[in-house]
Every structure is written in structure tokens, then in C-alpha cells.
């Protein structure tokens, strides 16, 4: 039997979209919970494949799979809750200004099939059943995944598990499908059946796909998470009181997972009085470790060489590869004024175990950097435990540039919660205001439809007068809580 063509796959996605849109919230939540369980039941097998393909290590992968299963259940809870539908009821009002208002009700409905470009650095959490897929399914949208070339066998295994789970739950297998070929991914992105796309990866690759999505005869939203420098600012008071602690945390954060996090701290901004050796301490003893793919290691080496060629740069540690795919930590230093004079080289992401320390003369220079950097996923401040006037000025400046502002922690952990924001102004993402992690990720795949004077029996259940779903709604402007 021949493999189905892209057109056949997308026809199955469209059919699955109708099925998902008509399923009840409980059925949709049950599907997400079954997918979580399916991952867990297959975990040993899946983790073994992932370890062989990505070199990320069993412990890390075990934690990531647990997080991925948790994320699916988290979205199941959000679906059951129903508040994400933003059901809104405005009864007819003959006294409404400037003209009588008819009965108007609105609810959010799924966009339809979503194309997810999987990331390479989280083979579970940002891949086939990762956050983009979980939030799209929660919204009621089937997903076509473009697999990451770094873990093709794992992608196939996870997709097979997911399709089998969906089938057993009574959903058509088209709720989730997989393509591997780059050209097929681009063709899907331009196909009218696809109604939205999500992407985790490089600025260059993401921008090219964003441009394709916008150039379609009927453009679609493209939610690209493109990476970030994730600057960390150390105030003078923190530098005086907490240098050792900050240095140890910094080393662990930028080298964790061979530096392959979109939230890796790629820039540490410290007062020039600081002794920089404390940051380099022990780093040169870290042995080279394999990166996700040969290609990623090659791009990293080229990027580090570009940094090393920059004028006025000091080399604190220069880690060498011991083979085509490996990398060891590199730590460089410059001044804030030099960094600001060459931002396209010094103030852009290097994906891998490197970071740059930029020293500032005074508070004004630190603030100038905070205001001068491009959009970021995260920005961090290390401050004194008590009042710290520099932190008080940095935080609002950084909130204009970053999706998440952190005090006294490291950006590399991204908790799945209601408040999490994983996004930021371009080039951190192509859609600032949306998030790819956390409860609001579901918002990306929903459109609102208003129903005017539609008889109760013909309304979606969420909007019927008796509120049969028992969900939270806004009625005539007043928020009403859920009754379930």
C-alpha cells in the first residue's frame, strides 16, 4: 500500500476537524488524558529511542516526558473548565444606545487543522505531543506535525501511539498526523486546509515560514517561537553580596543540556568592578558533549568563531569539540558599549553552550542595554535581597522587551501554569501577545463567532439560555462563575 499523499492526509485532517468540533468538552478532555496515559505506558520504549537519537540523557528525558504528560492533562482540565470558550451572552435590550440591541451571543470555536513544526531540543515537550499539539487539540483543532529531523524515529513512535489512542477513544486517526520532508512541510503550510501554524526553532527558519504563511492567498496566523538571548542583569548590590552564588547558577544554566534551550542565558550583564574569573571557574574542565544533530553542532561552531572574531572581545573559556557533533562550554566577555556597537553579532542568540558577559560602567549604561536589546523570551535581574533601586528601574524597562521577567532565578525552567508566558516581541516570537507554554496557549487556535437572534435550540450548547454546560460566562456584561 502506498503512503497517503499530503492531499489525502489533509483531507483526513479536515474530516477530523469536524469530528473534534462536534465532540463534547468531556470527550475532548478524555482524549487529552488518554494521550498522556499512552505516552506514559510507552515511556520506557520512547525514552530509549529519544536517548539514542538526541543524546539528551535518560534522566532529562524522563523528566521531559513527565512534563509532557502533565501538560496534556493540564489542557484537559482547561477544556473541562470551559472558561476558555469565553461564552458571552447579551440579551436583547430595547433601551441599548444608540439603537435597540438584538440578542447577541458569542463563543470561541476551533480554527481547523493546525500545522505544528516540532522543535529539536525538547523531543517530547515541544515535539509531536508537545505544547503546541496539546493546546491545538484542546482548542478542538487536529494537528499535522512536521517532524524535527533530529528525532525522526521518536516522532514516528509517538505519532503511532497517539493515533492508536485516538482511534481507541473513538476519534478518527486524522486528529494527528506526521510529515517528515521539508518540502512537504512548506507545501502543507501553503495548503488551504491548514488554518494556523505553530513553530519552535531558529530565527532564520521561522522567519522563512512566517513569510510563506503571510504570502498565502488567504493568510493564516503563524505562531513562531524563534529563540532569544535571555539577558541576565546583575545589579551592583547583588554583585557585591552574591557573586559566588550567581556565578555557580549561571554556569549551570548556560551549559545545561549542552546549552540547547531557547531560554539559555546568552548574555550576563555585570558591573565592571566584578572579577570575571568567578564565572569561568571550573568551566574548562567540562568535557565536550554531543549536541542534538551534526548540523546544530556545526552551526554552533561557526557562530562561536564569529563571536571570537569580534573586536575587543576577551576569551574566558574556549571549549573545543572532540568530534563532529560535540561542543564544550565557551565563555566570552566584552563591554556593554562594545556590545551595543555590534548588536547583530554580539546581541543575538548562539544556540549551544556559550555565553557572553558584558560589563557596564554605571546604571545608565545597564539601562541603555535593557532598552536597546531586541525582543526576548525572558529577561532576568539579580538584585540585593532588600530594596534595590537599580532593579526597580530595570524591571519595567525589561517588561517592554521580554515575555517573562525573572528576579533572582534562572530562565531555563519554563513551568506549565496559568500565568506562564513563553513568547515575546519579535524576534523572540512572530506573535507577541501569544504564548506557546501555559494555559493561554489554547487561545492561539480559537476564533470567535457571534450568534444574533438565533433560536435557543440552534445555538451551540455553550450559549444556550440554561447554560447546560455549566461553564463560566459573561452575561449582559457581568461575569458569572461556573456551576459545575
Residues with a known catalytic role: 225, 262
Neighbour-count burial of 89, counting CB atoms closer than 10 A to its CB (0-12 exposed, 13-18 middle, 19+ buried):
buried
Total Cβ atoms within 10 A of residue 208: 12
Site string for a copy of itself, 316-355 (x = CB under 8 A): ----------------------------------------
Residues 130-189 that bind a copy of itself (CB under 8 A): none
Q: In whole angstroms, what separates CA 412 from the centre of its chain?
A: 12
Total Cβ atoms within 10 A of residue 464: 16
Q: Is 208 in the site for a copy of itself (CB under 8 A)?
A: no
Q: Is 455 in the site for a copy of itself (CB under 8 A)?
A: yes
For a copy of itself, which is the closer residue by CB, 365 or 388?
Answer: 388
For a copy of itself, which is the closer residue by CB, 9 or 404?
Answer: 404
Between CA 183 and CA 165 the distance in angstroms is: 29
Site string for a copy of itself, 94-113 (x = CB under 8 A): --xxxx-xx-xxx--x-xx-
Segment near a copy of itself (CB under 8 A); pick from 34-42, 272-280, 309-317, 417-425: 417-425
Between CA 266 and CA 331 the distance in angstroms is: 10
For a copy of itself, which is the closer residue by CB, 241 or 286?
Answer: 241
Residues 57-86 that bind a copy of itself (CB under 8 A): 63, 66-67, 70, 77, 83, 86
Site string for a copy of itself, 213-232 (x = CB under 8 A): -xx--xx-x-----------
- CA 418, 424, 428, 432 dihedral sign is positive
For a copy of itself, which is the closer residue by CB, 229 or 296?
Answer: 229
Residues 421-440 that bind a copy of itself (CB under 8 A): 421, 423, 425-427, 430-433, 435, 440
Size of residue set near a copy of itself by CB under 8 A: 79
CB of 24 to a copy of itself, least distance (A): 15
> 202, 251, 238: which is closest to 357 by C-alpha?
251
CB of 423 to a copy of itself, least distance (A): 8
Task: Report whether the peptide linkage leading into residue 77 is cis, meaning its omega lies within 30 degrees of zero.
Answer: no
For a copy of itself, which is the closer residue by CB, 198 or 313?
Answer: 198
- CA 164, 169, 170, 174 dihedral sign is negative
Residues 377-416 that bind a copy of itself (CB under 8 A): 391-392, 395, 399-400, 402-409, 413, 415
For a copy of itself, which is the closer residue by CB, 9 or 67?
Answer: 67
Q: Is 236 in the site for a copy of itself (CB under 8 A)?
A: no
Q: Is 303 in the site for a copy of itself (CB under 8 A)?
A: no
Between CA 300 and CA 231 the distance in angstroms is: 19
Total Cβ atoms within 10 A of residue 29: 21
C-alpha torsion 428→439→411→285, nearest 10 = -100
**b/e code 142-174 from CB counts within 10 Å (16+ = b):** bbbbbbbebbeebbebbbbbbbebbeebebbbb
**What is the DSSP annotation of 426-443?**
TTSBSSBTB-SSSGGGGG
R_g of the chain, CA atoms, integer Å: 24
For a copy of itself, which is the closer residue by CB, 276 or 475?
Answer: 475
For 214-338, strand residue ranges (E) read 222-225, 231-234, 267-271, 289-290, 314-317, 326-327, 330-335
Between CA 175 and CA 163 the distance in angstroms is: 8
Residues 355-374 that bind a copy of itself (CB under 8 A): 374
Q: Is 461 in the site for a copy of itself (CB under 8 A)?
A: no
Segment near a copy of itself (CB under 8 A); pick from 26-34, 88-96, 295-303, 305-313: 88-96
Q: Which residues contact 296 (CB under 8 A, 6 or more apart)?
A: 120, 150, 260, 351, 352
Between CA 403 and CA 101 the distance in angstroms is: 39
Q: Is 126 in the site for a copy of itself (CB under 8 A)?
A: no
Task: Report whether the peptide linkage leading into residue 98 is cis, meaning its omega lies within 30 degrees of zero.
Answer: yes
Decide: 429 and 376 in contact? Cβ < 8 Å. Answer: no
Q: Is 479 in the site for a copy of itself (CB under 8 A)?
A: yes
For a copy of itself, which is the closer residue by CB, 180 or 216?
Answer: 216
Among 302, 452, 483, 484, binds a copy of itself (CB under 8 A): 452
Q: Is 90 in the site for a copy of itself (CB under 8 A)?
A: yes
For a copy of itself, which is the closer residue by CB, 13 or 321?
Answer: 13
Site string for a copy of itself, 253-272 (x = CB under 8 A): --------------------
CB of 463 to a copy of itself, least distance (A): 9
Among 312, 323, 470, 481, binds a copy of itself (CB under 8 A): 481
Amino acid at each position: 500500500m502506498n503512503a497517503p499523499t499530503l492531499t489525502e492526509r489533509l483531507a483526513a485532517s479536515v474530516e477530523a476537524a469536524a469530528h473534534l468540533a462536534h465532540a463534547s468538552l468531556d470527550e475532548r478532555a478524555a482524549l487529552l488524558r488518554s494521550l498522556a496515559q499512552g505516552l506514559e505506558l510507552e515511556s520506557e520504549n520512547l525514552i530509549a529511542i529519544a536517548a539514542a537519537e538526541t543524546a539528551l540523557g535518560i534522566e532529562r528525558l524522563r523528566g521531559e516526558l513527565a512534563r509532557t504528560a502533565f501538560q496534556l492533562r493540564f489542557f484537559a482540565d482547561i477544556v473541562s473548565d470551559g472558561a476558555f470558550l469565553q461564552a458571552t451572552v447579551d440579551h436583547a435590550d430595547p433601551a441599548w444606545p444608540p439603537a435597540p440591541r438584538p440578542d447577541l451571543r458569542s463563543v470561541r470555536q476551533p480554527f481547523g487543522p493546525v500545522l505544528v513544526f516540532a522543535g529539536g531540543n525538547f523531543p517530547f515537550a515541544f515535539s509531536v505531543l508537545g505544547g503546541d499539539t496539546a493546546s491545538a487539540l484542546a482548542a478542538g483543532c487536529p494537528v499535522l506535525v512536521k517532524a524535527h529531523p533530529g528525532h525522526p524515529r521518536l516522532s514516528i513512535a509517538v505519532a503511532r501511539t497517539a493515533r492508536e489512542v485516538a482511534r481507541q477513544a473513538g476519534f478518527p486517526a486524522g486528529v494527528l498526523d506526521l510529515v517528515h520532508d521539508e518540502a512537504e512541510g512548506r507545501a502543507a503550510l501553503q495548503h488551504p486546509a491548514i488554518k494556523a501554524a505553530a513553530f519552535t526553532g531558529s530565527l532564520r527558519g521561522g522567519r522563512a515560514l512566517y513569510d510563506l504563511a503571510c504570502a498565502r492567498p488567504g493568510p493564516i496566523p503563524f505562531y513562531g517561537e524563534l529563540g532569544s538571548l535571555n539577558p541576565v542583569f546583575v545589579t551592583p548590590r547583588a554583585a557585591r553580596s552574591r557573586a559566588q552564588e550567581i556565578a555557580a547558577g549561571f554556569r549551570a544554566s548556560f551549559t545545561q543540556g549542552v546549552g540547547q534551550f531557547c531560554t539559555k542565558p546568552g548574555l550576563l550583564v555585570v558591573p565592571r568592578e566584578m572579577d570575571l574569573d568567578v564565572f569561568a571557574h571550573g568551566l574548562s574542565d567540562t568535557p565536550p558533549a554531543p549536541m542534538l544533530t551534526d548540523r546544530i553542532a556545526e552551526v554552533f561552531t561557526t557562530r562561536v568563531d564569529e563571536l571570537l572574531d569580534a573586536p575587543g572581545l576577551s576569551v574566558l573559556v574556549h571549549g573545543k569539540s572532540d568530534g563532529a557533533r560535540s561542543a564544550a562550554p565557551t565563555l566570552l566577555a566584552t563591554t556593554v558599549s562594545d556590545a551595543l556597537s555590534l548588536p547583530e553579532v554580539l546581541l543575538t542568540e548562539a544556540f549551544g553552550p556559550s555565553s557572553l558577559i558584558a560589563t557596564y560602567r554605571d546604571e545608565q549604561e545597564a539601562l541603555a542595554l535593557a532598552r536597546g536589546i531586541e525582543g526576548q523570551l525572558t529577561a532576568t535581574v539579580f538584585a540585593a535581597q532588600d530594596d534595590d533601586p537599580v532593579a526597580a528601574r530595570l524591571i519595567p524597562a525589561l517588561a517592554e522587551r521580554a515575555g517573562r521577567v525573572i528576579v533572582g532565578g534562572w530562565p531555563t525552567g519554563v513551568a506549565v501554569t496559568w500565568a506562564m508566558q513563553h513568547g515575546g516581541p519579535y524576534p523572540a516570537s512572530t506573535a507577541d501577545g501569544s504564548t506557546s507554554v501555559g494555559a493561554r496557549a489554547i487561545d492561539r487556535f480559537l476564533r470567535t463567532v457571534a450568534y444574533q437572534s438565533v433560536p435557543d435550540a440552534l445555538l451551540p450548547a455553550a450559549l444556550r439560555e440554561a447554560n447546560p454546560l455549566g461553564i463560566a460566562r459573561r452575561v449582559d456584561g457581568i461575569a458569572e462563575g461556573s456551576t459545575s
